[in-house]
Structure 1
Amino acid sequence: MRIGKVMSQISVRIPLVLWAIIVIYPLIWMFLGSFKSNAEIFASPWTLPETFELDNFISAWSDYNIGSSFMNSIFVTTLGTILCLVFGIPTSYAIERLRFKGSEVLFNTYLAAMMIPSVLGWIPLFFLLAHFNMLDNLWALSLVYAVSHIPFTIFIITSFMENVPKELEEAAAIDGMSPYGILFKIVTPMVKSGIITASILNAVAFWNEYFMALILLQSESKNTLGVAMDLLNQNAQYNSAWGALFAGLSIAVIPIIIIFAIFQRYIAKGMTEGAVKG
């Protein structure tokens, strides 16, 4: 029985270790390549850098506008994530707790909206924003991001609000607390895991988004990281700026890695609690 248990653990862990190596190795190779010169990348792509210099990071940040694109991505990601919560938390509470006429239809409509491919709305959305002179606007792009992910946010947060005991809300109401006070002081802190999970998943989606930014933004100074990295990739192919490309990719990846490293406990807890709801 002990041998069988050991073999069972090995059979599970070996594929996981192999998969981790497959995923992590390209990231390490990219990060080490960001410290190499172009000549060193072509001469010895699989070895450690001879000297760890920051020339590629400086070039990517200033010469290829990764710095301004980085700040633009931070802006649209932060604002889009906040707007998702501003719209999603009250809507989730209304659907889950108030149970007004048509609440089930509204919730099912949000679920159906999650199934619609976003590509179907690109052309109408472009003409709509053009009509209101909102093209090439980071605020408008943030709003588009938020609206596109509100159904997903509501789906996540309602699954957590369902598990909040109604007795707590009833006791707070008896003590004279307003519905808004119950929502923000009682319910919201108790669904913190769901809010963090939805926020991080939304933020990662906004950070990595490419097509909407490409369509709705027209000025190079307003490009997000996805668009800027595509332009840098084209320059790398024709100008041999591979070191700058690796540096730009490292700049784009590091914030996501840091976020997951900090909040992985909340993400795992949130996904687990959401999976066993009801």
Structure 2
Amino acid sequence: MKRSVGQILGKTGIRIPLILWTIAVLYPIFWMFLGSFKSNAEIYRNPWGFPETFNWQNFADAWTNYNIDTSVFNSLIVTVVGAVLTLVLAIPTAYAIERLNFRGSKFLFTLYVSGMMIPMVLGWIPLFFLLMEFNLLDNIFGLAIVYAVSQLPFTIFVLTSFMSTIPKSLEESAAIDGLSPYGVLWKIITPLSMSGIITVTIMNAIQFWNEYFMALIFLQTEENYTLALAIDYISSEAQYTNAWGTLFASLVIAIIPVIILYAIFQRRIAKGMTEGAIKG
């Protein structure tokens, strides 16, 4: 009995802080959802209560009056292009570093890993002038290239840990059957590393979708704004126009794709992170 009581108290002592932390994290999000359906009068009169009527006009205003539709499209392009380009560059690089064992492969891997320790802020000014030189400043595809390069060290680090445990006998058998090194990479190594690829793709996509500072520096015209910049613009306008409901609606529009993406691939992400930690 004493042991069972002690176990119950121990579990309770762990669960209570977790429950409190969950409430502290989820309540502001819940409050934001409620605010997106309120009029300005309701927000000022009863900021913490439920809306009297669910007002969808805030979403319409955010979508049309503040060009959230264009910003969502820009963010989608930047996210997809950046995530795909990251994989195109990272998968062959990780395979070459991990499996080909050429001279300098360990040094190259160390160089990439050390890139994870360097803050991106140190490269913002050189990147600004570099993009200007190649006429990619204020260009969403130029921003996507910067995003892809910024996530290369992390992506390569994760993928090499997955590829390291794939039996080399599979590659040898494929080579005997006449498969080229490129065929081995794309037909054997890549499918067997799919858990890691899905994990880094989702994490990179969420990073690109939410990124703000590099978009603020490298994008200059409103028609090229990503969603983060558009929301920042609405936030500054709300101080003078009282468009708080529109701001909440734009925030809801921004987080819904992330929530859906994580809900769909939650098990894949957990599985990929666990396998990566064990294999690494």
Give the CA deviation at 1:140: 0.8
1:60 aligns with 2:62: yes
2:230 to 221, 228, 233: 228
The equivalent of 2:115 in structure 1 is: 113
2:217 to 212, 215, 218: 215
Give the CA deviation at 1:6: 2.0
- Percent identical among aligned pairs is 62
The equivalent of 2:241 in structure 1 is: 239
2:133 to 131, 134, 155: 131
The equivalent of 2:29 in structure 1 is: 27
The equivalent of 1:197 in structure 2 is: 199
- The AA in structure 1 aligned to 2:85 is L
Give the CA deviation at 1:17: 1.5
The equivalent of 1:167 in structure 2 is: 169
Give the CA deviation at 1:132: 1.7
Distance 2:132 2:246 in 1: 35
With normalisation by structure 1, the TM-score equals 0.97
- The AA in structure 2 aligned to 1:57 is F
- The AA in structure 2 aligned to 1:32 is L
The equivalent of 1:95 in structure 2 is: 97
Give the CA deviation at 1:242: 0.2
Give the CA deviation at 1:7: 2.0
List 4+ stretches of structure 1 deviating above 6 A. none
Distance 2:166 2:213 in 1: 38
Aligned to 2:76, the other structure's residue is in SS state: helix
Give the CA deviation at 1:8: 2.2
Distance 1:225 1:74 in 2: 9
Deviations 1:186-221 (A, max 9, x none): 111111111111111111111111111111111100
- The AA in structure 2 aligned to 1:109 is L
Distance 1:174 1:11 in 2: 59
**RMSD of the TM alignment (CA)?**
1.0
Give the CA deviation at 1:60: 0.6
1:188 to 190, 209, 216: 190
Give the CA deviation at 1:164: 1.0
- Could you tell me which runs of 5 or more consecutive residues in structure 2 were left unpaired when the two chains were aligned: none
- The AA in structure 2 aligned to 1:117 is P
Give the CA deviation at 1:143: 0.6
Deviations 1:23-62 (A, max 9, x none): 1111110011000000000001111111112100000111
Indicate the larger mover: 22-31 or 170-179.
170-179
- Could you tell me which runs of 5 or more consecutive residues in structure 1 were left unpaired when the two chains were aligned: none
Residue correspondences, number: 278
Indicate the larger mover: 108-117 or 91-100.
108-117
